[in-house]
Structure 1
Amino acid sequence: MLVIFLCIVLLVLLVSWGKINPFVAFLLVAIAAGLLLGIPVNKITASIQKGIGDILGGLVIVICLGAMLGKLVATSGAAQRIAGVLVSAVGQKHIQWALVAAGFIIGIPLFYGIGFVLMVPLIFSVVDKYKLPAVFIGLPMIASLSVTHGFLPPHPSPSALVVLFHADMGKTFVYGLMIAIPAIILAGPVFATFLKKIPSAPLATFRAAEMTEAEMPGAFISFFTALLPVLLLMLTAFFPYLHVQNPLMVKAVTLVGDPSIVMLIALLVAIYTLGIRQGKSMAVISGQLTDAVKDIALILLIIAGSGAFKEVLTASGVDKLIAARLGELHMPPLLLGWLIAAIIRISLGSATVAGLTAAGIVAGLVSSGGVNPNLMVLAIGAGSLAFSHVNDSGFWLFKEYFNLSMKDTFRSWSVMESLVSLIGLAGVLILNIFVG
């Protein structure tokens, strides 16, 4: 236990104080852990390689295809079309709720950073047009993006945890939706009512030009393409309850239910609907897909590093020891997973690193069958969104784009992230009563 504690402290110091790349920090900590835990020197490297291969083998396809899909949704104007349709449908009085819905829909296929940069210009255009407080209007939409990033596949951390815990991607997504919606409402529009007086003058530098009507795809195509992964995952999640007996159909749904196949189908559809159909050449589309992979390369490396650290713990047998010792605390496993992720998140600033590191520590509890793996994914996801502050890039994105003071960023962004985390934990514990 002392060795693991020291390794986690070392990881925190390397990333936060030493400013070392998280992937490199994970490798250094994995090597240190292997030596201190008595793994033979000639087996440490093998354990690291196995850990990297195991986690990326089941994940790299989903993350890369998800990034490619998100890139097409962003660059085609589909995201702007979705938001525009929602705002037009509800009118000025309910613009905030329309933006929340837009952020939620767009946040499912888009990675957080891409979604943030994409949606902020839309927020600012609405603020300018209707003379509304920027934080009051913008924070709820940003809350939607944050919640989907922490709770819902195909985002990196929840997707990785599904693989690590051998959870069901479809069920995790459905449970995640049940928790995400109240978390967004309470931490978004409800909380934002207390922030109307925060002064914010968004910088002109960040107000990107919008696409014209002619340049954007139609509403149906935009909604259908962005939500196709969701539709396929929900179909496969509910299919067993339809009691279909046709063997061919069962095999087809089983194949389509694989997350890699889901994302591949969605991407192929998007290449046509948001690319070729819009008059783009395959050369242009291929360039956008390549850029998408570049955008998430570091995320893949961080995930790989966390897999190496997790495998070293597993190879040493210390994961079982940790599970046994933590079990002596008489703390519910889901609460424990949330707490570990929250502590690492506050220390390191990265939701992805927090989720994956916590997963390696509680993996023994999940494998022993003492907890619902789908709910553990969500508990750790909620913990990984806890109090965001100066060591989190999201904190600075929000501060600089909205041109806020440090004090106002803490009382808006940081509190919102903490509310999302706590509400997410409460939702997981309530769901555990019924499905645990």
Structure 2
Amino acid sequence: MTPVFAIGLATAAIAAIIVLIAYFRLNPFIVLFTVSLILALAAGMPPDKVVASFEAGAGHVLGHVGTVIALGTMLGKMLAESGGADRITITVSQAFGKSKLDWAMMLIGLIVGLPVFFEVGFVLLIPLAFVMAQRHNTPLLRLALPLGAALSVTHAMVPPHPATLLALQAYHANTGRTIFWGILVGIPTAILAGPIFARFVAPRIKIEGTNALGEQFTNRQVPEKLPSFTITVVTVLSPVILMLVGSIADVVTTPKTQANQLLHFIGNTDIALVLATILSFYVLGLARGFSRETILRFTNECLGPTALIMLLVGAGGGFGRELVDSGVSKTITDVALGAHVPLLVLAWLLAVVVRVACGSATVAMSTASSIAGPILLKAHGVSPELMVLVTGAGSVAFGPMNDAGFWQMKEYLGLTVPQTIKTWSAVETLIAFFGLAFCLLLAQFIS
């Protein structure tokens, strides 16, 4: 497969998805499924492997993201119905003031996003954005985009995220210095891509129609007596705390022992979320006077609006897998590798290419670092820590439609495909380019 053909094929597929969904108003799942199959066949994949590849990609993504969305939505529902979201909203609003709610959401995202995946942090915190937007008559995008930007920055640039840890190993970088430089680069990047950009774009995007997912967080009777701020925050942060415990298991216990395995187990994303959700059933449910039947109704009714999200997330994973299995992704990556550019830029470019080709930021970061790592060993004067950061910045570039986060943002916020591109894809692109720019600036002073 020639590079020109591979790039043209990928470009045509992405353009077809945009036109068919945005202009012809076709069902997004059908479009993603059909375009994925046509792309694979056009790339020369055997027909008997085309469908299997799509199913494998969709299943791999949904195996994790589907569980996260379901549990996170239940936890968010309990947070909303108990008045916990209102309590956090009132406390944060009083601390920051109405004019700086977007900065508050960014700060919350940076803190919660440190030890959790983007998908987990988003479903945990998006109810707060809905409630804040309604209470203070603020555009939802002005709060949701800073939240998403902060979560994306920490996911890409600050350990202990799995992809970041893989990059640390590939580049033989120092963990402490990576965290320090990651925070130093990540904060201004999140500010520019979050509150500042949101204030520019939010007035220009009109969200039409009703948002079924948002209504379940806002169209409800607020309890007269709200739960305490401490109990609410501890409940929301409990999965974060459990995941953090799992990440330091090898430090506080001997590897392979029963205690070590137990800490790793409760620190697993799915286990941490299910434990936190069960905790919310008591502290935000039974302890607040809700009956078991009412809690069951809450958890059942909140899952309905997530069905389409899960389908689209899975379809995006299937599309990405077709690009990889058909060889289109590898061909495009080889083109980037053959370019003679500075090593920091090359690592960033490789991550960008893989990101566009397969959609996953984690795959983009791990793949790019595995390619650029051996090159770094032969280079001189390049900071391994900055290599981690630029690879992470490139891994979130463009927020493409084969990324689960694209469809998650679209459906949760009630956006159209063009609106999602103008907002969320733009946020991810700003993170990628500002992250690279700040790293290149730092490179002038450290090595």
Deviations 1:326-375 (A, max 9, x none): 2112452333434775xx6xxxxxxxxx9827777887545657498997
- Cα contact 1:7–1:32 (8 A) shared by 2: no
Map of 1:32 onto structure 2: 38
Aligned position for 2:52: 46
The Cα offsets for residues 172-224 of structure 1, whole Å up to 9 and x where unpaired, read as: xx8998365433434556678999xx899x99x99968965634221111111
TM-score (norm 2): 0.66
User: Counterpart of 1:131?
Assistant: none
Verify the 8 A CA contact 1:323 1:362 in the aligned structure 2.
no
> Which of 354, 359, 362 is matched with 1:356 structurally?
359
Matches within 5 A, 1:336-415: 336-338=350-352, 356=359, 365=368, 368=371, 370=373, 376=391, 379-384=394-399
Query: Residue 119 and residue 243 in structure 1: after superposition, are their counterparts in 2 closer, same or farther (change >3 A)?
Result: same
Q: Which amino acid aligns with 1:12?
A: I
Q: Which residue of 2 aligns with 1:120?
A: 133
Number of residue pairs aligned between Structure 1 and Structure 2: 388
Residue 265 of structure 1 pairs with residue 275 of structure 2? yes
Aligned to 2:383: none
1:15 and 2:28 are equivalent in the alignment: no
| Secondary structure class of the residue paired with 1:18 | helix
Shift of 1:44: 1.8
* Alpha-carbon shift at residue 148 of structure 1 (Å): 4.4
* CA shift for structure 1 position 81: 0.7
SS for the counterpart of 1:73 is: helix
1:356–1:115: structure 2 CA closer, same or farther, 3 Å change rule?
farther
Write out aligned runs for 1:43-82 (5 A). 43-82=49-88
Shift of 1:75: 2.9
| Equivalent residue for 1:323, pick from 296, 311, 333 | 333
Aligned-partner SS, 2:290: coil
Which has the higher mean CA deviation after the structures are superposed, 4-13 or 294-303?
4-13
The answer to whether the 8 A contact 2:109-2:151 is kept is no
Three-state SS of the structure 1 residue aligned to 2:224 is coil
Q: TM-score, normalised by structure 1?
A: 0.67
Structure 1 segment 153-168 matched on structure 2, within 5 A: none
Contact 2:87/2:227, CA 8 A, preserved across alignment: yes
- The question of whether the paired residues in 1 share the 8 Å contact of 2:53 and 2:321 is answered with yes
Q: CA deviation at 1:23?
A: 2.5
**Structure 2 counterpart of 1:146:** 148
* Larger displacement relative to structure 2 (265-274 or 369-378): 369-378
Alignment of 1:215-254 (within 5 A): 215-242=225-252, 244=254, 247-254=257-264
CA distance in 1, matches of 2:296, 2:150: 27
Preserved CA contact (<8 Å) 1:68 1:267: yes
Determine if the alignment matches structure 1 residue 83 to structure 2 residue 113. Answer: no
1:301 aligns with 2:316: no
1:129 match: none
**Structure 2 residue matching 1:68: 3-state secondary structure:** helix
Identity rate, percent: 25
Match of 1:403 in 2: none
Of 116, 123, 128, 1:110 maps to 123
Q: Is the 1:162–1:377 contact (alpha carbons within 8 Å) kept by the matching residues of 2? A: no
SS at match of 1:71: helix
- Matches of 2:194 and 2:49 in 1, distance apart? 49
The whole-number CA distance in structure 1 between the counterparts of 2:29 and 2:81 is 29
- Tell me, in whole angstroms, the C-alpha distance in 2 between the residues paired with 1:79 and 1:300: 24
Question: Which letter does structure 1 place at the counterpart of 2:16?
Answer: L
Change (3 A) 1:45 1:426: same
- Unaligned stretches of 5+ residues in structure 1: 125-133, 345-353, 387-391, 400-405
Q: In the alignment, residue 14 of structure 2 is paired with which amino acid? A: V
Which residue identity is paired with 1:22?
Answer: P
C-alpha distance in 2 between matches for 1:45 and 1:424:
37
User: Letter of the aligned partner of 1:263 in structure 2?
Assistant: L
Compared CA separation, residues 337 and 74, structure 1 to 2 (3 A):
farther
Q: 1:211 to 1:419 in 2, by over 3 A?
A: farther
Output the CA distance in 2 between the equivalents of 1:419 and 1:325.
24
Contact 2:246-2:265 within 8 A present in 1 as well: no
Indicate if the aligned counterparts of 1:151 and 1:382 stay in contact, CA closer than 8 A.
no
Q: Distance in 1 between matches of 2:145 and 2:194?
A: 6
SS in 1 for 2:227: coil
Separation of aligned partners in 2, 1:47 and 1:112: 33
Change in CA separation of 1:55 and 1:367 when aligned onto 2, cut-off 3 Å: farther
